[in-house]
Structure 1
Amino acid sequence: MDKQNSKYRWVVFASVLFTYLIIVTQRTAPGLITEELMTEFKVTASTIGLLTSIQFMAYASLQIPIGILSDRFGPNLFLIVGTLLNGIGTLFYSVAPNEMVLLLARLLVGIGDATIWVNLVLILSQWFKVKEFVGLLGIAGMTGSFGFLMATVPFSNWIDIAGWREPFLIMGIVLCINALILYFVLVKKPKLTLIKEASVTKENKREKTLPMLRRIFSNRQAWATFLCHFGLVGTYIGFIGSWAVPFGMNVYGLSRSDASQLIMIGLFGAILGAPLTSWISNRLGSIKKPYIVVHVIVFFSWIVFLLFHGKPPYFMLFLLFFLIGYGNGASTLTFAIVRNSFNMKEVGVVSGFANTGGFISAILLPIFFGFILDQFQHTGSDIGYQYGFIIPIVFTILGLVGGFIIKEQRQEDKQQSLLS
């Protein structure tokens, strides 16, 4: 099967994107029930931070190993197993009797989630030409943002109607069924493709892992992608996945549904950010220039929270969350940099390394934020949020540094196109 000219590639694209859509909903949906978990299980804000972070910790720690294994053995199996683990973890979460089971469930979800984006990037790299790749990454990023959108008002209303356990139970079942569908789409159907991939696997086994990792870890471009993702993705996901809804409820006195609507504005920004920034990048013939602009905008958006002592005027929140969300959507440019800068045999591991940056940030932010809130809990005020916003400001400075050290790879782009 000629993957990059086959009509079947669009079936693959649709099935992988649907998987990503559903999985992303479960990445942040637990943030909607923070208050319920603290009440039902009698846990502190720090414990909620740990509950959120353990998922991202598993995700971040597995990005590079998954990238290495996917480069060697192909992305299909890892995507299928990851989807199944995500479904099983979500099922456990829905029936958890105590906080220990909640932690185990989120750990399983994190392990499953760790396989998704790296293998999505690899599958798109294999099935589509370079000239199609950047645009499709924008669509994939937009799809992820729709997943986040589903985890706001629609999921919140579902929780209000049915309680928090039933929605997670049903989503877990959907994910398990989807893993079976992926098996038929990626493995059962394209048998000729599997034969070709087996030959590629044999070639990749000859490459030594440690020299490759040393080369990547000393590569300026790899670190640029790591820092870019650290600044844009981790601050956004870490905040909306744990403290954004409580922030709206505690600081502005909003209901959970109203706070979710506020966060939804950020998701609209993310939906727009992926395809629009990819289009701008293609028009300019540059990834670096628009990416730096995005980092600057997000940095100053977080600064505004601090300038207003953690409570900007309500009308201003819409613009701030929209801009921060836009930055998260634009972060798909990170993987355009990876695809244009590295050999196809290294795309998986470098994508994993870059993605690690975003989710290390997503691990640290909820923990630090929860710790700061706990320190000011006795005051009975919202001053903890004011100091908490220092964290995303510092993180986005590192992202901005990453944007500046990106090296444009125009000549390499041509060479990679020939390799594809």
Structure 2
Amino acid sequence: MSTDKAANEPDEFTNPTTAALQLVPRRLPTVMFAIALFAYLIAVTQRSSLGVAGVDAANRFDAGGAALSTLGVMQMAVYALMQIPVGMLLDRFGPRMLILAGAIGMALGQAVVAFAPTLEVAVLGRILVGIGDATTFVSGLRIIAAWFPQRRVPLMQQWFSNLGQIGQFLSAVPFAMLLHWSNWTVAFLSTAALSVIVAILVAVVLSDTPWKRTAGSRVSLRGAFVKLGDAFVRPGTRMGFWAHFSSQFVGTVFALLWGYPIMVQGLGLAKELAAVLLIVPMLVGMIAGPWIGLATARWPLRRSNIVVLLASLMTASWIGLIVWPGVPPLWYFLIVLVATGVCGPGSTIGFDFARTFNPASSYGSASGIVNIGGFTASAITMLLIGLGLDFGPQTAAGVPSWDAYQIALWAIPLMIVVGIGGLLAERRRTRSRLAAEEGVTVAPLWLAVARQLRRKHDN
């Protein structure tokens, strides 16, 4: 790759134009996307490996529901808390360095979990996993923004987000099989080795932009905080936060910690079937995500309506599960999993808000703010479910009954409603700012639909 900059190559802090990207070898963006995707896929594997190990962890560490939830809660809390510094570091050092550091951190964290003699040591390991995981997704989004034309970015973001969820399959099937056929230490050391492979690949091949191996803004600490503050005061960034908050956390809570116990302890499903069902939302999301990306690119002024529609659908499905008289049948639980999978990709729209309402030089800070949303909701929901289970009815064997899960799972619709409320409030501020600064007035959806129908009728 030439180090001489052509006249029409973009500044490293500016999203490249289509004309500038025509100078890049045709297959190189695909290679960079594939490496970033592999890094994220393995990060998801590390993140969700605890999901199928929840019952084993309870037995290994003799932990109850609230104590067990600390494994997932601490990981998610650290992930969320790291998003602000990660966003600032992303603007400062570029995505390649952060993905590399994250892979090393996750490898160390899973190794700690592998040998953990107590729950407290295992929590420390999962904290390291959370720190490493925190760097990967937003860094991959920056890679996409640097290597692809802007009209393709929303679609590529959906492919990135949803193909990365294949990591849930790796944890739900191969990892689960390895865990049950060998032992705890071998299984978690094997996942640690995957992150070592990522670190080597990123160090050798990945580049931040088509023109720079590592691109970052050489700003002072004070300047980094100024960028962060500028990103936060934009209502479009905060709208992205609530879009992510309301859409992402359900799939994370299900895959990372409580899905497997819900199915095995609550619904009484076989462990083998539960391990397979863990990947249903991921598979559905892979199908729905690209269509949501196309809709986002086609109707950019209606992105918030898409998020609200998806979040409302997910809320209705989970409430139906909770209020079902007795233990719900498998067919309805499958509907809930499909709804969760369809709605999950709506969270990626939050990053599109960050991209379009912020300059490229502060996209890392804005993305970090957005990414806090879903993982904050995840950590709170995990903890609420654990507390609900400990206070709910138990079976004779001391296992939470379905009645306990019905109480605990009200945390899910509660958090979605909070997220939708925040999104609608920030949407109002964002549209007011668009009208004042750019003269763009966004009519309510029902009025826009009525106008469109009237035009078709007149024609």
The answer to whether the superposition gives a TM-score over 0.5 is yes
- Partners of 1:148 and 1:378 lie apart in 2 by 29
- On the 8 A contact 2:173/2:275 being kept in 1, the answer is yes
Q: Secondary structure of 1:193's partner? A: coil
Structure 2 counterpart of 1:315, one-letter code = W
- On the 8 A contact 2:35/2:206 being kept in 1, the answer is no
Structure 2 counterpart of 1:288, one-letter code = S
- Partners of 1:18 and 1:104 lie apart in 2 by 25
Structure 2 counterpart of 1:28, one-letter code = S
Taking the TM superposition and a 5 Å limit, the aligned residue runs for 1:68-217 are 68-186=88-206, 193-194=212-213, 197=215, 201-202=217-218, 204-205=219-220, 208-217=223-232
Give 2:13's aligned residue.
Answer: none
2:325 counterpart of 1:306: no
2:249 counterpart of 1:238: no
Structure 1 counterpart of 2:185, one-letter code = R
2:335 counterpart of 1:319: yes
- On the 8 A contact 2:154/2:296 being kept in 1, the answer is no
- Partners of 1:310 and 1:359 lie apart in 2 by 31
Give 2:234's aligned residue.
Answer: 219
2:390 counterpart of 1:374: yes
Shift of 1:10: 2.1
Query: Greater helix percent: which structure?
Result: 1
Structure 1 counterpart of 2:410, one-letter code = I
From the superposition, tell whether residues 310 and 30 of structure 1 become closer, same or farther in structure 2 (CA, over 3 Å). farther
Using structure 2 for the length normalisation, give the TM-score.
0.82
Shift of 1:59: 0.7
- Partners of 1:382 and 1:295 lie apart in 2 by 25
Match of 1:354 among 365, 370, 373: 370
- Partners of 1:362 and 1:161 lie apart in 2 by 30
- Partners of 2:198 and 2:151 lie apart in 1 by 29
- On the 8 A contact 2:110/2:189 being kept in 1, the answer is yes
- On the 8 A contact 1:228/1:398 being kept in 2, the answer is no
Q: CA-to-partner distance for each residue in 1:50-76, whole Å, 9 max, x for gaps?
A: 011111111110101110121122221
Shift of 1:89: 1.1
Shift of 1:209: 3.6
Shift of 1:379: 6.1
- On the 8 A contact 1:20/1:143 being kept in 2, the answer is no
- Partners of 1:194 and 1:264 lie apart in 2 by 36
- Partners of 2:393 and 2:50 lie apart in 1 by 22
Number of residues of Structure 1 aligned to a counterpart in Structure 2: 408
Give 1:387's aligned residue.
Answer: 407
Q: Secondary structure of 2:156's partner? A: helix
- Partners of 1:355 and 1:146 lie apart in 2 by 20
Q: CA-to-partner distance for each residue in 1:345-365, whole Å, 9 max, x for gaps?
A: 111111101100111111111
Give 2:29's aligned residue.
Answer: 9
More displaced, 301-310 or 173-182?
301-310
- On the 8 A contact 2:112/2:125 being kept in 1, the answer is yes
From the superposition, tell whether residues 283 and 219 of structure 1 become closer, same or farther in structure 2 (CA, over 3 Å). closer
Give 2:418's aligned residue.
Answer: 398
Residue identity over aligned pairs, in percent, reads 25
Using structure 1 for the length normalisation, give the TM-score.
0.90
More displaced, 11-20 or 154-163?
154-163
Give 2:43's aligned residue.
Answer: 23
2:294 counterpart of 1:275: no
Q: Which runs of 5+ in 1 are unaligned?
A: 415-420
- On the 8 A contact 1:298/1:323 being kept in 2, the answer is yes
More displaced, 402-411 or 87-96?
402-411
Structure 1 vs Structure 2 CA RMSD = 2.5
- On the 8 A contact 1:24/1:147 being kept in 2, the answer is yes
- On the 8 A contact 1:299/1:393 being kept in 2, the answer is yes
Q: Which runs of 5+ in 2 are unaligned?
A: 3-8, 10-15, 441-459
- On the 8 A contact 1:310/1:385 being kept in 2, the answer is no
Match of 1:329 among 336, 339, 345: 345
Give 2:272's aligned residue.
Answer: 257
- Partners of 1:242 and 1:138 lie apart in 2 by 24
- On the 8 A contact 2:232/2:366 being kept in 1, the answer is no
Give 2:381's aligned residue.
Answer: 365
Structure with more contact order per residue of length (Cα contacts < 8 Å, sep ≥ 6): 1
